Amino acid sequence: MGKHDDAIKFAERWLNIIKKADLDEATAQEISREAEENIYNYFNRKWMDYRKTITAEDDYTKTEWRGQGCCLYDVYGNEFIDCLGVFGALNLGWCHPEVVSAVQAQAGKTSMPGKEMLEPLKGALANLMAQVTPGDIQYSFFVNSGTETVEGALKLAILYTGKRNFISTIAGFHGKTLGSLSVMGKKDFRAGFQPFGGQTFYVPFGDADALEKQLEICETLGLEVAAFIAEPIQGEAGCVVPPDEYWPKVREICNHYGVLLIADEVQTGLGRTGKFWGVDHWQVTPDIMTSAKALGGGVMPVGAFMSNERIWKVLEEPNPFMHTNTTGGNPLACAAAIATIMVTLRDNLPEQAAEKGNYFMENLNVLVERYPRIYKNITGKGLLIGQHFNTPGIGYKIAAGLYKRRVLVSGALLNKDTMRFEPPLIITKEQINEVLNRLEDTIKEVDASL
């Protein structure tokens, strides 16, 4: 018997399961049971324990299998309306046929970059990104995740300015790799890795005067700042929208102090907030910006950090290999991103997000008035919507009740009082109404228990 015979049989069995168009009851039970065991024993057992605390009865063992449009289905075929949307990655919904078709077509040609010849799809996507980004943003570098885009943005800012300090926002979220953590605005995730290379100073989000004061202090003390980084609308903090004057004033302040402005559009980009980019709400052009999540159309992981010609030169001269990777911007990811941008523009998805988001929030605000023991308020723009509850316990009960009623929602990683709605931008009004009905049914149950 060979050393790896068991591993080969295990892999073969799972490949056969993957190829099944439909699952019978026995196979569904087998997948669900094994998923629980494998995640507990080989991935993260505390994650499984967490699932038990936020779901009702045995709901924590529900196992996803396929998605289509705005719905995700478990192994038994039960349909869930998806208002979680992979934290903003599913702007086009599950398995959008045009994105899937583009990836399938490319998979029969090349799936990885050969590296010695020109890569046509990478060039085409870079051109397309220059067409849809604001102002003089022209160049892009492609990676596989959101946190990598922030790593690249920080590295670019350091290379261009020669400075190593940054200013970020309290409760800002920019990813969990080491460089990204250095500008994270929450101690829970960054404390164990301190100190970082340079210093990061923090100011309240939405307070431009605080940013100006911090830069004044840094200048007085000789603490040179490379860049200010912020999300246009804070996602993980609870869909926090800044005052309308905030971003234009931030742009002016950064110009005055010679500090680069980095807009982290990983969650807000590609139409999520009702504009193609979050900064488009305020007609602001950043020096560097990031994109990921929805860029791959929910089919392939792909991200990009982008900048103008003036700043980008430091990645070209004297060493054009200053920042490289192996699989970033691979042909499959680029095919998915090209299709995603085309569908987003052609179908006017940013406008759809604005209209549907307004409808959603108007109805949610009716619930706020109706159930004052449950809600604080509703925040957000487009289909990035935060529901703020009076206590974290209420939020957990609402989320669990919705899960029981087959609606998927997301908490806010940096705000335990908040639950997010981030459905696909293609969600229908009928589906929104159904979510609202199930939500109010859940609220009535929780309100009666208080």
User: Does 16-88+349-449 match 98-346 in CATH topology?
Assistant: no
pLDDT tens digit string along 376-394? 999 999 999 999 999 988 9
Q: What is the mean pLDDT of the chain?
A: 93
Inform me whether the pLDDT recorded for 179 exceeds 80: no
Sheet of 71-74, strand order: 64-68, 71-74, 79-82, 407-408
Q: What is the CATH number of domain 98-346?
A: 3.40.640.10
Task: Give per-residue pLDDT as tens, 42-61.
Answer: 998 888 777 765 565 566 66
pLDDT at 53: 57
Please check whether residue 377 is in contact with residue 204, taking contact to mean a CB–CB distance below 8 angstroms. no
| Residue 7: how many other CB atoms lie within 10 Å | 10
Q: How far apart are CA 262 and CA 135, in angstroms?
A: 14
Q: pLDDT tens for residues 326-378?
A: 999 999 999 999 999 999 999 999 999 999 999 999 999 999 999 999 999 99
pLDDT tens digits for 270-283? Answer: 999 999 999 999 99
Tell the CATH topology of 16-88+349-449. Answer: Aspartate Aminotransferase, domain 1 (3.90.1150)
Domain coordinates in residue numbering, the chain: 16-88+349-449, 98-346
The three-point CA angle 359-364-369 to 5° equals 130
Tens digits of residue pLDDT in 201-222: 999 999 999 999 999 999 999 9
Tokens of 293: 């999540």
Quote the pLDDT of residue 55. Answer: 62
Which residues lie across from 125 on neighbouring strands? Answer: none
Instruction: Please name which of 214, 353, 374 lies closest in space to residue 294, comparing C-alpha atoms.
Output: 353
